[in-house]
Amino acid sequence: MEDYSQFIQQVGSWAEELLLRGISQFTLRDVEVLEQFLEETKRFQLMFLQEVVEPMIMEGRNLALGNGDEELLLRYYCRLTQYVQLSVQETF
C-alpha cells in the first residue's frame, strides 16, 4: 500500500509541476515521465488509470512535436488529476 501511495504522490507532484508550467509547455520529457507512470499502472493493475495515461501519452507526444491538440491534452490532464485527488482522499 505504501508503494501505491508513493506512486500516486509522484503522479500528483508531476501534475502540479505541469500545472505551474502550463499545458503548452508539455515536452517529450513529460512523455517519458508518463511512460514510466504507465509501467507502474501496469504493475499495480490500475486499469482505469492506464486508460487515462495511454491517450495522454499519445496526445502529449503529438503536442510536443507540434501537431497535437492542447485542449484534448488538457482534458486528459484533468482526468488524471481527478484520479489522483480521489486516490489521495481514499487513503486518508
Work out the number of other CB atoms within 10 angstroms of the CB of residue 68: 17
What crossing angle do the helices spanning 2-21 and 70-91 adopt, rounded to 10°?
A: 140
Single-letter residue type at 87: S
Chunked in runs of 10, what are the mean pLDDT values of the chain (92 residues)? 91 97 95 98 95 97 95 97 92 64
Q: What pLDDT shows up at residue 92?
A: 61
